[in-house]
Structure 1
Amino acid sequence: MNVRSFRLSDYVAVNGLLEQVLSEVCYQETKDALAKQLSWDSDLVLIAVEEEQVVGVIIGTIDNNKGYYYRIAVHAEHRRKGIGKALIHSLKQRFEQRKVSRILITVDEHNEPILPVYESAGWFERDFARMAERRLSIMA
């Protein structure tokens, strides 16, 4: 498994993965946020590839010198193999290279169920940015 930066040629596979893995409402929000993040800074969108197949994606963003994990998705057949953790760690490295002042995990109704993945990757409750709105205002 390899984690690398998003490439334009990955768009169809990433979109398909998001549509397959996320609920319809979450997919619509994430699709819009992905498009905006790609136009702002595509280096904060990472994908996991296994045998030339996109098996995972993580979307991050930076706002006011803070790095935010926005959304992560791993193909159902490839879960519990460390792909989510690898994506989380790789994006953390990107944030650290950018020297953000703090890194937070965006918590909305869609991310709540996967917080244990972040916790198993070494993150704590204090790192969770609970959103009053359904999505980050910077992603809106």
Structure 2
Amino acid sequence: MQIRSFQLSDYRLVAELLEEVLSEECCEETMGAFARQLSWDSELVLVAESAGRIAGVLIGTIDHHKGYVYRIAVRSEFRRQGVGRNLVACMKTRFQQRKVLKVLVAEDKHNELLRPFYDSLGLKPVDFVQLTQPLSIVAG
């Protein structure tokens, strides 16, 4: 498995993955944030690739020395194989390279479903933050 930065040629496949993995409401919210993040800093959109297929994606952003894990999605057939863990680890490395002081998970009803996953990474409730503004305003 390889974790790499998003490339423009990935757009259709990542969009399909998000549609497949996320609920309709979550996908709609995520696609808007995904497009905005690509326009600001595509290096904070990570893609996990395995055997030539996109297995997962993580959308992150930075605001005032805080790094946010906004959304993570992994195809069902690649779950429980470390894809999500590797995506988060690589994003943390990117955040550290950019002098981010704190890494937080954007807490919304969609990420709340992933709380056991984030707990398994050692994140505590204090590492979750309710975004008071949409991603477009937070990172803009």
Q: TM-score, normalised by structure 1?
A: 0.93
How many angstroms does 1:106 deviate by?
0.5
> Structure 2: any 5+ residue segments left out of the alignment?
none
In structure 2, distance between residues paired with 1:80 and 1:47: 17
CA contact (8 A) 1:85 1:121 kept: yes
Match of 2:130 in 1: 130
Alignment of 1:70-81 (within 5 A): 70-81=70-81
How many angstroms does 1:139 deviate by?
6.2
In structure 2, distance between residues paired with 1:70 and 1:126: 16
AA matched with 1:53: R
Structure 1 residues 17-60: Cα deviation after superposition (integer angstroms, max 9, x where no partner): 00010011110110010000000000000010000100100000
CA contact (8 A) 1:105 1:128 kept: yes
Match of 1:101 in 2: 101
41-50 vs 110-119, greater mean Cα deviation? 110-119
Q: What SS does the aligned partner of 1:122 have?
A: coil
Q: What SS does the aligned partner of 1:118 have?
A: helix
Counting matched residue pairs gives: 139
Q: Percent identity?
A: 51
AA matched with 2:110: H
Q: What SS does the aligned partner of 1:123 have?
A: coil
In structure 2, distance between residues paired with 1:131 and 1:59: 15
> Structure 1: any 5+ residue segments left out of the alignment?
none
Alignment of 1:1-140 (within 5 A): 1-131=1-131, 135-136=134-135, 137-138=137-138
CA contact (8 A) 1:85 1:118 kept: no
CA contact (8 A) 2:48 2:54 kept: yes
In structure 2, distance between residues paired with 1:50 and 1:115: 25
How many angstroms does 1:130 deviate by?
2.5
Q: TM-score, normalised by structure 2?
A: 0.93
How many angstroms does 1:121 deviate by?
1.6
AA matched with 1:110: H
Coordinate RMSD, CA, aligned: 1.5
